[in-house]
Amino acid sequence: MSHPLTGRAAIVTGASEGLGREIARACVAAGASVLICARDADRLQQVLADLGAMAGPEQTIIAEPADVSNPSDVDRLVARALDAFPQVHILVNNAGVYGPLGPIETVDWPAWTRAIEINLYGSVLMARALVPHFKRHRYGKIIQLSGGGATNPLPRISAYAASKAAIVRFAESLALELEGSGIDVNSVAPGPLNTRLMDQLLAAGPETVGAAFHDRMRKISAEGGTPLERGAALAVFLGSAESDGITGRLLSAVWDRWSDLPARRDALKDTDVYTLRRIVPADRGLDWDK
C-alpha cells in the first residue's frame, strides 16, 4: 500500500527535528493527518510549513508547542488533537533527551531527574491521556521510541539508559494491560542516528562518555549513522492496519525483519521474541542452577 495511513490521524512528539521530524514526514507521506509537538515553537512552525506543503486536501496538519513532561501541556495537546481530528489512531512518543553525561557521582542531579521526566514521564503521560480515547474507539496504536540504553548498559549516560529501559518495560506492561482492547503498544529501536543527540555525545569528549564509546560513536557518525528513514518506516508500519495485533514488542528498525511479522502474527503471540528478558545460565549453556 502506498498510503497505508490514509484516513488516520497521528500525534508525533519531539517532531521539531531529527527522527521525530522524519516520522512526521513519513506519516504525512503515508496519508495521515498529523499533530506535531515540541518545546521549540519556532522550529515547530518550520516543520509545520514543510508538512503542510506535502499534505493532500483531505489531510489536516497542525502544530502545538508543548512540554510532554508537563501534565497540563499534555492535557492541552490531547484536547487540541481530539478537537481537530474525528479520531486519533496513532501516538508516537519520540520526545527525548540524553540528559547529563559523565559519572553518576558528578553529574548535575536536577538535569539527571529532568531527563527521566522527559523520557519516561512524558511518554507515560501521553499514553495515559490517550488510552481512554483509544478504548472508546476500540482501536489505537502507541509507538514508543527506544534506544540503545534499553538493551545495553551505557556507563556515563545513565539517565538516558535508565529511562529508556523503563519506558520499554512500561510499553510491554501497557500492552498486556490493554490486551483484547484493539490497542497495540510497541517500541522502536531506530539504530544510532546522526542527530543533535549524536552531536552532543561527540562534543562531550572521550573523557566524559568513555574513550571506547566515543570512538565507536565517532566512527558511526563519520559513516553517516542509520538513515532516519528506517525508523520512520517502522513507525508507519506499526501505525498501519497491517500491524494490527502485533503488540508488546521492541523492534529494531535495522536488524529485525519487521515487514514479515504480519505473516508470523499468530506464532509471535506465543513467544517472548522481541521483548526485554533476563538472561539465565541455561541460555548460555551453563548448568549453574542444577
Read off the pLDDT of residues 180-199 as tens digits, 9 standing for 90 and up: 999 999 999 987 766 676 77
CA distance 161 to 130: 26
Per-residue pLDDT of the chain (290 residues; tens, 9 = 90+): 589 999 999 999 999 999 999 999 999 999 999 999 999 999 999 999 999 999 999 999 999 999 999 999 999 999 999 999 999 999 999 999 989 999 999 999 999 999 999 999 999 999 999 999 999 999 999 999 997 778 888 899 999 999 999 999 999 999 999 999 999 999 999 877 666 767 777 888 888 888 887 888 788 788 776 789 999 999 999 999 999 999 999 999 989 999 999 999 999 998 999 999 999 999 999 999 87
pLDDT of residue 69: 98
pTM: 0.93
DSSP for residue 166: H
What confidence tens digit (pLDDT) does each residue in 10-38 have? 999 999 999 999 999 999 999 999 999 99
Q: Are 199 and 18 in contact (CB under 8 A)?
A: no
pLDDT of residue 148: 73
Q: φ and ψ at 213, to 5 degrees?
A: -65, -45
CA distance 202 to 215: 9
CA distance 240 to 258: 13
Q: Are 254 and 225 in contact (CB under 8 A)?
A: no
Domain ranges of the chain: 9-191+228-255, 193-225
pLDDT of residue 194: 64
Where helices occur in 30-89 by DSSP H, the ranges are: 41-54, 71-84
Where helices occur in 55-180 by DSSP H, the ranges are: 71-84, 109-116, 122-137, 158-177
Q: Are 235 and 258 in contact (CB under 8 A)?
A: no
Nearest to 143 by CA among 177, 173, 186: 186
What number does CATH give the domain 9-191+228-255? 3.40.50.720
pLDDT of residue 239: 98
Q: Are 237 and 259 in contact (CB under 8 A)?
A: yes
- Please pick, among 98, 121, 139, 160, the residue that the annotation labels catalytic: 160
98 is catalytic: no
